Amino acid sequence: MDFAQEWNQLKAGHPAQETRMRLNHALPPDGAGSGAASDEPSLVVHQDDLGAVGHEAFKLHGALRKKGDIGNPGGGDKDLCSTASAAKEMSSHHLLAGDELDSTLATWTSQVKTVLQMCAHISNHLDYSKKAHLREDQEIAGSMCHRDGTPMSPSEILKYVK
């Protein structure tokens, strides 16, 4: 049996399926619209959320810095249990595994440094974001007051909106 015959047999064995459009998301529970046109913001972040994420990135950075150094975990040259020492010892006995272990260690160290940099970046950026938004909120609150410190009336604020 050639391909064309086999294909025709498979097509004949299956009834034609109705083609329908499928969306890549579910409708809200109330069934009202797709959510894109609603007044509900699509992203909401609270200060506590940012603080928690930043804190977790900080904790991960600290733990990885302590436990991620497999090259020389003792910190001294006399630590014979380290991966770097093992690679050096194998290489001194002309074993190819020593060079491979050294290459693996270099790759591991590079990747650990990348993750450490990203954790520090996340933590620092979230700290900066929190401070920047707080400063902006204070500036907006200050601009919404009269010179004597009394808040603007809603009708005065409405002039800025229109």
Question: Tens-of-pLDDT digits for all 162 residues of the chain?
Answer: 777 887 788 778 766 655 565 556 666 666 555 444 455 556 566 767 777 888 888 899 889 888 887 766 655 555 456 888 888 899 999 999 999 998 998 899 899 999 999 988 888 887 787 788 888 888 888 888 888 878 888 777 777 776
Q: Rounded CA gap, 67 and 133, in Å?
A: 35
Q: Is 127 helix (H, G, I), strand (E, B) or coil?
A: helix
pTM: 0.49
The position carrying tokens 């459009």 is 21
Sign of CA dihedral 19, 21, 25, 31: negative
Q: Exposed, middle or buried: residue 63 (CB in 10 Å: 0-12, 13-18, 19+)?
A: exposed
